[in-house]
């Protein structure tokens, strides 16, 4: 409890100081959170939502989406391979299968396994912001948003030009178990943008390569991303995007330690989406969307030297269509939507399977009087394996003052088991369970938010129950791990987040972001004397903090991540980045894990020691 009080004092202390300096800060435009049917200023949101915007992303010592998300409050990023090669993601104590990722509202669901969900070709330079939505979100985003959602919003370019970005880094240690070479990483990125009055186009390509940071952890990563925006007229717009990534890496200890010391994996993902926005009248808005995702996963237990045995090949496809509409009335807004999704897999260790999902949304937003606003809605879902289910939700907000708001919400959601959960057969290591029930979540939350000019602060308490929780378990070490409905997971949580900005001088600005999360999780209705594969390392305490100073074209950022898990080691990891802009050139120096902390995020896989990298970026748009 001392840690809770310490974090709270830090946040409230920041707030008291902020109020004495507020007149010296320039006010910026407020972020608009773009849900599938309603667009809402972040100060008016009745949910626990925050955004990592482009101004923060540009300063972070991060080049990939994975690395950016490790600084997000409440987000648990468990990396196996660093620098964007492989990671699992969860929110507020859930499992890595219970968080949904979206690109401009289009869902990324990996029906094989969520281990590959972050295998995305999105360059940091195209990201406008990342929206973190905490708590069950079926009413907004549908299935698999059991503990929250992460929506990546990309930029619409305003100027034409091109980008060249290159970097190199090392921990200056040698691969004493393998080649004897010094560990290194390097990469190059090229990008081009065309921005015209009625259409805008962005293309980015990158190549990253490393021989790792310990034996058999090297990777080679190639990405391609295109986005096009076309404005047909003032009321109609089309957005299309396409991405491809090929990611090959050494998988030493990733899934079956210690026998997989020489394992390797190649994951290829293709993603495409076309959506449009139509303002049909002053009251009626329509937004259809179609998307496609293909994923190829080639896991080689004995490594690249032996492909005749111990090899698993998985080919998955998902095709989705969605339409959302909003109608404004005098008394409020109505939102409706429908989605259809087909998923199939052809796998050497899972087999051939196909399933369909159909969902319908209905929402209503209104003000009962000036200060009280309410969002109420439901999601009705049909799955060809799990039939019909209904997931309602309610959000309420009361504006005590223009700056201070009390919020409360009740939400429900569902997670359909992956094909791996159901059908995997990798004896003697892991076997699936075709009799699994879907997971269901119920969460209630109460909190407040304070937003005024240069200072924001929000605090929330939530209580969540996940029934039919799926985990991989066994009773003795000689048995294979098998997926089971492990019981009910009950979580009490507190989360707080504060931001503060001040002008130190006419040319200098100082920014603070500090977040704290406490989770108390307990299993109920579970069998005794059973071992869990994933949940034993869920977070208990988390602190995320960034401090950055901007002086003219120079900036320096210091970032801290503190994690204490339910079992396992507690660790602090500290990073920094120095940026110097020289006209259209930017020179940067990153130092990650500067105090050389020994730590683990997934299983017993040690993550990199102190790592330095430097780079140069040229941007003409």
What are the DSSP calls for 46-98, one per residue? SS-EEEEEHHHHTTSS-SSHHHHHTTSTTEEEEEEETTTTEEEEEETT--TTS
412 closest CA partner among 386, 438, 393: 393
**Rounded Cα distance, 164 and 205, in Å:** 10
Beta-bridged to residue 577, according to DSSP, are 557, 590
| Distance, C-alpha 41 to centroid of its chain | 21
Give tens-digit pLDDT for 193-209.
999 999 999 999 999 99
**Rounded Cα distance, 216 and 257, in Å:** 13
Q: What does the pLDDT average to over 9-38?
A: 47
Assess whether pLDDT exceeds 90 at residue 567: no
**Rounded Cα distance, 328 and 284, in Å:** 7
**Rounded Cα distance, 431 and 334, in Å:** 45
333 versus 477: which is more confidently predicted? 333
Token pair of 113 as six digits: 């396994």
What average pLDDT does the chain have? 90
396 closest CA partner among 361, 441, 440, 447: 447
Beta-bridged to residue 96, according to DSSP, are none
CB-count exposure of residue 317 (10 Å: 0-12, 13-18, 19+): middle
Assess whether pLDDT exceeds 90 at residue 452: no
CB-count exposure of residue 506 (10 Å: 0-12, 13-18, 19+): exposed
Count CB neighbours of 257 within 10 A.
Answer: 13
What SS3 class is residue 524? strand
Phi, psi of 256, rounded to the nearest 5 degrees: -145, 50
**Rounded Cα distance, 338 and 380, in Å:** 9
Which superfamily is assigned to 2-619 in CATH? TonB-dependent receptor, beta-barrel domain (2.40.170.20)
Give tens-digit pLDDT for 485-507.
988 999 999 999 999 999 999 99
Contacts of 6 (CB under 8 A, 6+ apart): none
Task: Supply the pTM of this predicted model.
Answer: 0.91
| Structural domain spans, the chain | 2-619
Q: What does the pLDDT average to over 546-568?
A: 93
């Amino acid at each position: 409890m001392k840690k809770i009080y310490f974090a709270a004092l830090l946040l409230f202390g920041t707030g008291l100081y902020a109020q004495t300096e507020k007149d010296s800060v320039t006010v910026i435009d407020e972020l608009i959170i773009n849900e599938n049917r309603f667009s809402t200023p972040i100060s008016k949101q009745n949910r626990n939502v925050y955004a990592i915007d482009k101004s923060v992303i540009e300063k972070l010592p991060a080049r990939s989406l994975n690395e950016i998300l490790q600084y997000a409050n409440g987000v648990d990023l468990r990396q196996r391979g660093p620098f964007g090669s492989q990671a699992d993601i969860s929110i507020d104590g859930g499992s890595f299968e219970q968080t949904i990722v979206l690109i401009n509202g289009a869902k990324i669901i990996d029906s094989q396994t969520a281990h590959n969900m972050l295998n995305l070709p999105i360059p940091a330079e195209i990201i406008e912001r990342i929206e973190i939505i905490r708590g069950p979100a079926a009413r907004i985003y549908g299935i698999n948003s059991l503990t929250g959602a992460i929506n990546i919003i990309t930029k619409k370019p305003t100027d034409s030009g091109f980008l060249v970005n290159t970097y190199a880094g090392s921990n200056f240690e040698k691969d004493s178990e393998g080649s004897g070479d010094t560990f290194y990483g390097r990469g190059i990125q090229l990008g081009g943008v065309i921005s015209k009055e009625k259409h805008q186009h962005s293309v980015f390509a990158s190549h990253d390569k490393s021989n790792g940071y310990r034996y058999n952890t090297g990777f080679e990563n190639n990405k391609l991303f295109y986005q096009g925006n076309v404005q047909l007229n003032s009321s109609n717009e089309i957005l299309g995007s396409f991405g491809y990534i090929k990611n090959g890496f050494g998988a030493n200890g990733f899934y079956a330690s210690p026998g997989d010391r020489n394992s390797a994996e190649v994951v290829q993902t293709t993603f495409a989406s076309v959506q449009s926005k139509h303002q049909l009248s002053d009251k009626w808005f329509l937004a259809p969307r179609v998307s496609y995702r293909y994923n190829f996963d080639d896991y080689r237990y004995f490594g690249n030297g032996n492909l005749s045995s111990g090899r698993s090949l998985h080919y998955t496809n998902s095709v989705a269509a969605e339409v959302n509409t909003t109608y404004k009335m005098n008394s409020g807004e109505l939102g409706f939507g429908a989605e259809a999704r087909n998923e199939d897999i052809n796998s050497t260790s899972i087999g051939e399977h196909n399933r369909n999902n159909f969902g319908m949304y209905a929402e209503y937003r209104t003000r009962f009087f000036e200060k009280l606003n309410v969002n109420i809605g439901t999601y009705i879902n049909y799955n060809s394996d799990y039939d019909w289910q209904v997931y309602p939700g309610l959000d309420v907000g009361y504006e005590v003052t223009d700056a201070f708001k009390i919020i409360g919400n009740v939400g429900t959601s569902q997670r359909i088991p992956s094909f791996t959960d159901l059908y995997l057969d990798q004896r003697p290591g892991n076997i699936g369970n075709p009799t699994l029930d879907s997971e269901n979540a119920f969460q209630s939350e109460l909190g407040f938010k304070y937003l005024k000019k240069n200072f924001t602060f929000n605090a929330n308490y939530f209580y969540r129950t996940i029934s039919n929780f799926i985990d991989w378990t066994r009773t003795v070490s000689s048995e294979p791990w098998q997926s089971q409905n492990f019981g009910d997971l009950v979580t009490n949580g507190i989360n707080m987040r504060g931001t503060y900005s001040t002008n130190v001088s006419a040319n200098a600005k100082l920014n603070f972001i500090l977040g704290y999360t406490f989770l108390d999780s307990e299993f109920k209705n579970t069998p005794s004397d059973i071992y869990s594969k994933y949940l034993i390392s869920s977070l208990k305490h988390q602190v995320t903090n960034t401090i950055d100073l901007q002086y003219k074209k120079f900036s320096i950022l210091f970032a801290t991540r503190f994690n204490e898990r339910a079992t396992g080691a507690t660790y602090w990891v500290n990073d920094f980045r120095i940026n110097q802009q020289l006209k259209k050139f930017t020179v940067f120096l990153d130092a990650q894990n500067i105090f050389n902390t020994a730590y683990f995020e997934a299983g017993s896989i040690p993550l990199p020691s102190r790592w330095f990298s430097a780079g140069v970026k040229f941007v003409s748009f």
